[in-house]
C-alpha cells in the first residue's frame, strides 16, 4: 500500500460518506447568497398551559429554566433560551423540519408552544447554519461533531487533491494546475483586500 | 481538478471558519478609537438612514459596504462599515456635531467569521458583487464535485463495495439526523 494509494482512497471514501453534506452545503448556499422575500411561515399552537417558575436574574444562566419550559411544553431535544425583556422568556427548539418556539409570559404565568409548518427554504438554510455544541441535545452534539469532521475532511480533500495533482504524469497538467492555483489565489487576495 | 485548484483559497477559508463558528471561538469585538472630529453636515428630517450613512462614509473617504440602523432616541447615528479586514464603527452625534471612528481590532477568528458571513448581492460595490459571484462558483463546484466524484467512483470497480458502504452510511446518518433534530 503506497502513500498515493492511501491518499486516493481517503479522498474517495471521505467524499462518499460526506456526499449528502457536500450537496446540502452547496444547495443551501444558494438561498443564503440570493436572499429574497421569504414566504411567511405558519405556526400552529401545540400547547398553552399555566406555568410558573423562578426566573434567573439578569446575567445568570437561563438554561435550567429553559429545560423546565421544554419539559412543561412536552418538547425534547436541543434548544436556545433567551430573555428579550423582563416579562418574557423565549425557548427555541430548532428542528430542521418543524421547529418549535415556546413563549413564557412571566406576568401572566402562561406558556405558549407553537410548531412551524415545513418550509423547504428555511429547512435547508437551517441545516447550513446549525452548528455548535451549546444546544444541549445529544443528536445536536453529533451533528456538530460531524460538522467538525466535515471541516477537517475539506482540509484533507484539499491536501490530498494537491498531492494527486502533483503526482500526475506529464508537465502540461502541472502547468495548467499552477495557472489555476495562482489565478485563484490572486483573485481571492484581491477580493479579500477590497471587501 | 482545475476548478478545485482555483477555488482552494475559498474552500480553505470556509473549512477553517466553520471550525471557528462551530466552537463559538470568535469572542467579542474590541474597538479601537481611530479618530474623533467635528462634523457639520446637516441632514433634513426624514432623510433615509442609508443616505445619511453613505454621505458620512463619503466624507470620511471610507466608501464601501455598510449597514445602518435608525437613529437612537437622542439622535445618535451609527454606521457599521463592513470591511473584511478592518471593520469600522462610525458614531455621529448631531447634538454636538461630533464624529467618532472606531476600528475593530484584528483577530484571525473574527476575520474568518466575517469571511464566512460575507455573501449576497445587496451591496452595490464591485468587490461585494465579485465575492457573491465567487460564492455562486463555489456552489456550482460543490454540486459538480459531488456528481463527478460519484461518476469517477463508479468507474473504479475495485472500490464499488467499500464505496457503496461509505455512501450508504453517510446517507443513512444524514437522513436520520435531518429527520430527528
- H, E, C per residue of A96-117: CCCCEEEEEECCCCEEEEEEEC
Do A47 and A108 fall within a single domain?
A: yes
Do A100 and A55 fall within a single domain?
A: yes
Q: Is B128 exposed, middle or buried (0-12, 13-18, 19+ CB in 10 A)?
A: buried
Q: Is residue A114 within 8 Å of residue A41, measured between CB atoms? A: no
pLDDT for A44 equals 93
Could you say which of A20, A132, A185 has the minimum Cβ distance to residue B171? A20
State how far the Cα of B50 lies from the Cα of B104, in Å rounded to an integer.
Answer: 21
Mean pLDDT of B154-172: 93
Query: What average pLDDT does the structure give for chain A?
Result: 91
Mean pLDDT of A61-87: 92
CB contact under 8 A, B131 and A195: yes
With a cut of 90, say whether residue A39 has pLDDT above it: no
With a cut of 80, say whether residue A1 has pLDDT above it: no
Window B:119-138, CB contacts with A under 8 Å? 119-122, 126-128, 130-132, 134-136, 138
Chain B: closest CA distance from residue A35 (Å): 7
pTM assigned to the model: 0.87
Do A102 and A56 fall within a single domain?
A: yes
Residue A126 lies in a domain: no
Do A28 and A50 fall within a single domain?
A: no
- Cell digits for A38? 421569504
Q: What is the pLDDT of residues B80-124, one digit of tens each?
A: 999 999 999 999 988 888 899 999 999 999 999 999 999 888 888
Q: How confident is the model at residue A63 (pLDDT cuts 50, 70, 90)?
A: very high
Window A:173-192, CB contacts with B under 8 Å? 176-177, 180-181, 183-185, 187-189, 191-192
The count of domains in chain A is 2
Q: Which residues of A touch B153 (CB under 8 A)?
A: 12, 15-16
A–B: how many Cβ contacts below 8 A?
Answer: 183
Contacts of B165-171 with CB under 8 Å at 24 or more apart are B166/A13, B166/A14, B166/A16, B166/A17, B167/A16, B167/A17, B167/A19, B169/A17, B170/A16, B170/A17, B170/A18, B170/A19, B170/A20, B170/A21, B171/A19, B171/A20
Residue A75 lies in a domain: yes
Q: Residue A67, SS3?
A: helix
Do A146 and A85 fall within a single domain?
A: no
Do A81 and A18 fall within a single domain?
A: no
Q: Where are the domains of chain B?
A: 2-24+113-180, 31-106
Provide the residue range defining the domain that includes A185.
3-35+140-194
Residue A112 lies in a domain: yes
pLDDT for B42 equals 79
Mean pLDDT of B40-61: 86
pLDDT for A25 equals 95
Residue A127 lies in a domain: no
String of DSSP letters for A121-189: HHHHHHHHH---S-S--HHHHHHHHHHHHHHHHHHHHHHHHHHHHHTSSSHHHHHHHHHHHHHHHHHHH
Residue A1 near chain B (CB below 8 Å): no
With a cut of 90, say whether residue A3 has pLDDT above it: no
pLDDT for B16 equals 96
Do A30 and A80 fall within a single domain?
A: no
CB contact under 8 A, B120 and A9: no
Do A53 and A97 fall within a single domain?
A: yes
Do A30 and A55 fall within a single domain?
A: no
Could you say which of B12, B127, B153 has the minimum Cβ distance to residue A194? B127
Chain B: closest CA distance from residue A64 (Å): 20
Amino acid at each position: 500500500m503506497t502513500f498515493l494509494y492511501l491518499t486516493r482512497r481517503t479522498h474517495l471514501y471521505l467524499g462518499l460518506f460526506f456526499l449528502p453534506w457536500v450537496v446540502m452545503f452547496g444547495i443551501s448556499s444558494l438561498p443564503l447568497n440570493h436572499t429574497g422575500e421569504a414566504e411567511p411561515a405558519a405556526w400552529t399552537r401545540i400547547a398553552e398551559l399555566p406555568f410558573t417558575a423562578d426566573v434567573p436574574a439578569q446575567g445568570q444562566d437561563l438554561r435550567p429554566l429553559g429545560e423546565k419550559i421544554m419539559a412543561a411544553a412536552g418538547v425534547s431535544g436541543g434548544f436556545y433560551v433567551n430573555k428579550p425583556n423582563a416579562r418574557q422568556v423565549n425557548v427555541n427548539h430548532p428542528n430542521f423540519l418543524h421547529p418549535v418556539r415556546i413563549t413564557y409570559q412571566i406576568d401572566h404565568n402562561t406558556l405558549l408552544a407553537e410548531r412551524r409548518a415545513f418550509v423547504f427554504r428555511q429547512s435547508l438554510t437551517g441545516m447550513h447554519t446549525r452548528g455548535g455544541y451549546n444546544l444541549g441535545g445529544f443528536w445536536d452534539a453529533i451533528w456538530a461533531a460531524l460538522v467538525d469532521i466535515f471541516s477537517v475532511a475539506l482540509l484533507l480533500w484539499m491536501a490530498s487533491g494537491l498531492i494527486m495533482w502533483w503526482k500526475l504524469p506529464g508537465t502540461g497538467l502541472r502547468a495548467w494546475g499552477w495557472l489555476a492555483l495562482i489565478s485563484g489565489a490572486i483573485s481571492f487576495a484581491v477580493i479579500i483586500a477590497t471587501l | 481538478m482545475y476548478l478545485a485548484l482555483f477555488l482552494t483559497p475559498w474552500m480553505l477559508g470556509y473549512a477553517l471558519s466553520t471550525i471557528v463558528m462551530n466552537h463559538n471561538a470568535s469572542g467579542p469585538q474590541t474597538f479601537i478609537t481611530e479618530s474623533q472630529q467635528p462634523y457639520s453636515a446637516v441632514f433634513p428630517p426624514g432623510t433615509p438612514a442609508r443616505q445619511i450613512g453613505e454621505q458620512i462614509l463619503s466624507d470620511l473617504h471610507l466608501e464601501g459596504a455598510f449597514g445602518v440602523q435608525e437613529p437612537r432616541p437622542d439622535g445618535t447615528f451609527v454606521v457599521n462599515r463592513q470591511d473584511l479586514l478592518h471593520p469600522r464603527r462610525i458614531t455621529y452625534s448631531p447634538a454636538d456635531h461630533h464624529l467618532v471612528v472606531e476600528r475593530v481590532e484584528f483577530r484571525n477568528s473574527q476575520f474568518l467569521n466575517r469571511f464566512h458571513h460575507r455573501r449576497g448581492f445587496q451591496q452595490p460595490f464591485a468587490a461585494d458583487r465579485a465575492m457573491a459571484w465567487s460564492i455562486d462558483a463555489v456552489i456550482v463546484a460543490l454540486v459538480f464535485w459531488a456528481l463527478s466524484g460519484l461518476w469517477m467512483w463508479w468507474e473504479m470497480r475495485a472500490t464499488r463495495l467499500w464505496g457503496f458502504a461509505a455512501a450508504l452510511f453517510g446517507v443513512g446518518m444524514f437522513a436520520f439526523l435531518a429527520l430527528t433534530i
